[in-house]
Amino acid sequence: MTSERRPVMLITGASRGIGAAIARAAARQRYDLALNYTHSVDATEELADEIRSAGCRALPVRADVGDEAQVLQMFHDIDRSFDGLDVLVNNAGIAGGYGTLDTVDEAMLARLWAVNVSGPFLCAREAASRMRTDRGGRGGAIVNISSKAAVLGGSGEWVHYAASKGAVDTMTIGLSKELAPFGVRVNGVRPGLIESDFHDHAPPGRVERMAPMIPMLRSGSADEVAGAVLFLAGPDASYITGSFIDVTGGR
C-alpha cells in the first residue's frame, strides 16, 4: 500500500450506535469509508460530512443487507468509488423483537435471519472476492459484530437473537480457516451490555437493572466496542484470525 492510498473500510449499519462509533474511530486512523444504511438517510449523511471534515472520503451506500440484489448493488457502488476494499465490518443487525419463546413467529425469524445471518454471509462473500490474494486482491480483514448473547443464550429475552449471533460466530470460525491462505483474516467482536438503542426493544431501564450484574459494575460504550474492532482490522492483529474479543466488562 502506497502512502498516497488510504485503506478502505465498509461498515454495514453505520448510521448510528456502534456502527457510527466504528466509523469515527476509523476516520481517526485515516480510513476512507463506505457507510451502509437502510433507512437513516439524514444520520448517515451527517456522519459522512463529519468524516469528510476530518479529511477522509465517505460514501453513504443504501442497502438492505438481507437482500442479495441490494448487497450486489452496494458493492458495485463501492467498486466505482474506491480502489479496492481492505476491511469489512459486518455490523448491521436487528434485535428481532423482545420476549420469550412463545412470542417468536415465523415472520420474525425470517427477517432476523435475513439481516443477522444472510447479510453477513453475503457481504463476506462479496468482500472476500475482492480481497483474496489468489484473485488479484491485496488481502484484508473481516470483523463480524456478534454478541455475548451468542454464548449466554439470551434466555427469557432474546433466544432468537442469540441464536442468530451464534450462527455469526460459527461463520467467523469457518471463514477464518477458509480464507486464511488467501490473505483474508476473519475475527469477531462480542459486545455485552452496551449503551445503545438496542435496548429500546426491552422494557425501560434494562441497562440500569443489569449494570450491577457486570463484574466491572457498569455498562459499556459504543466507543469501547469500536476500539476492539479497529484493533482486529489493523496491522497489529496481522497474525490473528478466527478469534473473538469480548467487550463485556467481564461478563
Predicted local confidence at residue 2, as pLDDT: 41
In a domain, 203, yes or no: yes
Catalytic entry in 31, 37, 98, 161: 161
pLDDT of residue 197: 75
Q: Give the chain's count of helices (H) and strands (E).
A: 9, 7
Residues lower than pLDDT 70 in the chain = 1-4, 199
Q: Give pLDDT, residue 4.
A: 66
User: Which tens digits make up the pLDDT trace of 83-103?
Assistant: 999 999 999 999 998 899 999
Q: 90 — phi, psi (to 5°)?
A: -80, 90
| Assigned domain for 1 exists | no
Residue given cell 449499519 in the structure block: 13
217 inside domain: yes
Domain of residue 90, CATH code: 3.40.50.720
Active site residue 161: yes
pTM beyond 0.75: yes
- Count of domains for the chain: 1
Q: Report the candidate in 41, 51, 42 with the shortest Cα–Cα distance to residue 21.
A: 51
Q: Is residue 3 part of a domain?
A: no
Asked whether residue 176 is domain-assigned, the answer is yes
- For 70, 98, 250, the CA distances from 122, given in Å and listed in that order, are 10, 26, 32
Residue where the block lists cell 429500546: 200
How many C-alpha atoms does 113 have within 13 Å on its Cβ side?
A: 7
Structural domain containing residue 190: 8-247
Whether residue 58 is contained in a domain is answered as yes
- Residue 13 located in a structural domain: yes
Contacts of 105 (CB under 8 A, 6+ apart): none
Give a yes or no: residue 78 inside a domain.
yes
